[in-house]
Amino acid sequence: MRAIIFGLFALNAVSTLTAGAFTQEVYVWQRQPSPALAQALDTARDSVAGFDVLGAEIAWSGGQPDIFRAKLDYAHLAKLGRPVGLVLRIGAFSGPYQADDAVAKLLIATAKSLLAEARAGGLTPSELQIDFDCAESKLDGYRVWLGALRAAIGQTPLIFTALPVWLKHEADFAALAKASDGFILQVHSLDKPSGPDSAFTLCDPARALAYAAQASKVGVLFRIALPTYGYLVAFDAAGKFFALAAEGRSPDWPATTQVRAVRADAIAMAQLEQSLAKTPPPHCTGVIWFRLPVAGDQLNWDWATLRVVLDGKTPVSKFTTAVDWPEPGLAEISLVNSGQTTEPPPVQVALAWPVDNVPIAGDGLGGFHLDIKNNEGRGIILNATLSPEVSLAPGSRLKIAWLRFAHEISLSANIVASH
């Protein structure tokens, strides 16, 4: 989850979870520093109110903890001039939940060490977020953990990530929320799909607004996490779902795997944020976008998309075609993403030329097939083998076919079918 806040003075020591103007922040989930990440942070700095950065993760294997520490450039984060919260991610844990047992002491030690490391690196964290997908039947135990952490970390605000399913346990959730300094309502997730032709959504705006209204009744300040990312969803040859893959190395799935790409709907999310900002639910102070776009991302929004959304506008989705003549008689047809969202390319483009100018040769490119109707002065370019995860970022283009004529002619290319 991520958030954003603006000001005329240094804000990196101030929590963004305060009543006032509705803010937008952004999560940073990269585990290693890189030039691309540094550039992304610098680019986003003037558009967001704050950053929330993954600092550490504790997983459990055979009942034993496995601690991962992200390598963070604290000096760079401090220079951004925005509040920076640190996130401690905790993997699935069934209990017991105690305030002073070995597990609690490990959590406290990790949290205190993470905050101390940041301060030693020149960053005063604006808050510590605990990201733990607790079983809904264990919320009372989770409250014990939060109470112990709250007492241990001093003046740093303690925030936790909340799942919508917890809200139906009104008393337990209220007690959990009041054991902290606020929470992040995560309204994005992907339900297990029934098949490759199922309708997919990472965030339903109507349900998100309903969850926000329900969360506001607790009377504790909160923000809402909204998605920018996507998944690859894998089904076996029979159409049965078996795996998800997020950003990173492509999985080594069987050749018979059916793959669908599911992405956060930038237009729907922009409109949802606008609705929340116009009439914020009581006690809701802003949104946090998950996550910061970095050059090389394949399943995340492009920065051009997020920038439009941060400006309170709705991005435009638009594809056009381009016909180029790099040499006499050689036509190259390309798809151009002329909009502001990352989208799969259209699946069918219609070509037309004078009937008496027959192509000498031609072929499809980049997973597209060219079907020439010589005696009719037309042709069709069809998406034949393009992988479902392929998409075009704003401003990018994909060459999909070429045709050779005796000389340059009047050739048109028009999109007739999209995904």
Cα separation, 282 vs 278, in Å, equals 12
Contact 80, 53 (CB under 8 A): no
In the block, residue with structure tokens 């989930």:
29
| Phi, psi for residue 77 in degrees, rounded to 5 | -60, -40
Measure CA 378 to chain center. 41
pLDDT at 63 over 90: no
Please report the domains of the chain, with CATH numbers, ordered by start residue. Answer: 23-233+262-310 (3.20.20.80), 319-417 (2.60.40)
Terminal Cα-to-Cα distance of the chain (whole angstroms): 29
Determine the Cα–Cα distance for residues 81 and 347; give it in Å rounded to an integer: 45
pLDDT of residue 19: 60
Place of tokens 């027959």: 358
Mean pLDDT of 165-179: 97
* CA dist., res. 75 & res. 73, Å (int): 6
Show the tokens assigned to 87.
Answer: 């996130």
- Helix residue ranges, H only, 52-204: 74-79, 102-120, 139-152, 170-178
Q: Determine the pLDDT at residue 126.
A: 98
- Please state, in angstroms and rounded to a whole number, the distance separating the CA atoms of residues 201 and 58: 29
- pLDDT tens sequence across 271-315: 999 999 999 999 999 999 999 999 989 899 999 999 999 999 999
- Tell me what pLDDT residue 62 has: 83
Tell me how far apart the alpha carbons of residues 145 and 64 are, in angstroms, rounded to a whole number.
Answer: 18
DSSP 3-state of 329:
coil
For 168, phi then psi, to 5°, come to -70, -15
To the nearest 10 degrees (0 to 180), the angle between helices 266-278 and 205-216 is 30
Q: DSSP secondary-structure letter at 266?
A: H
Average pLDDT, the chain: 91
For the cut 60, the answer to whether the pLDDT of residue 2 exceeds it is no
**Per-residue confidence band for 17, with pLDDT thresholds at 50, 70 and 90:** low
Q: Is 297 helix (H, G, I), strand (E, B) or coil?
A: coil
Give pLDDT, residue 1.
Answer: 37
What is 69-94 written as a DSSP string? Answer: E----HHHHHHT-S-EEEEEEE----
Pick the closest to residue 281 from 240, 221, 323, 342 (CA basis).
221
Distances (CA, A) of 362 to 105, 324, 326, 365, 397: 68, 14, 15, 10, 19
Side-chain-facing half-sphere of 252: CA atoms under 13 Å: 0
Encoded tokens for 70: 């992200």
pLDDT of residue 15: 54
Residue pLDDT, tens place only, 304-347: 999 999 999 999 999 999 999 999 999 999 999 999 999 999 99
Encode pLDDT of 376-399 as tens digits.
889 999 987 777 678 899 999 999
* Residue 77 tokens, joined: 């984060």
| C-beta separation of 93 from 60 below 8 A | yes
Contact of 335 with 349, CB cutoff 8 Å: yes
Kindly tell me the burial class for residue 327, based on how many C-beta atoms sit within 10 Å of its own C-beta (0-12, 13-18, 19 or more). exposed
Could you tell me the CA-to-CA distances from 415 to 285, 390, 419 in Å, in that order?
43, 18, 11
Banded model confidence at residue 155, pLDDT cuts 50, 70, 90: very high
Each residue of 354-380: pLDDT tens digit?
Answer: 998 989 999 999 899 999 987 788 999
% of the chain beyond a pLDDT of 90: 79
Asked if pLDDT for residue 250 goes beyond 80, the answer is no
Tokens of 188: 């994005």
Give 180-236 pLDDT, tens digit per residue. Answer: 999 999 999 878 888 888 888 899 999 999 999 999 999 999 999 999 999 989 999
- pLDDT at residue 383, as a whole number: 86
Nearest to 248 by CA among 229, 227, 228: 229
Of the candidates 14, 2, 10, 6, the residue with the CA atom closest to the CA atom of residue 157: 14
In Å, what is the CA distance from 161 to each residue of 112, 154, 182, 225, 235?
19, 20, 9, 9, 30
Taking 80 as the threshold, does the pLDDT of residue 71 lie above it? Answer: yes
Q: How far apart are CA 108 and CA 110, in angstroms?
A: 5
Strand 51-61 versus strand 84-90 pairing type:
parallel
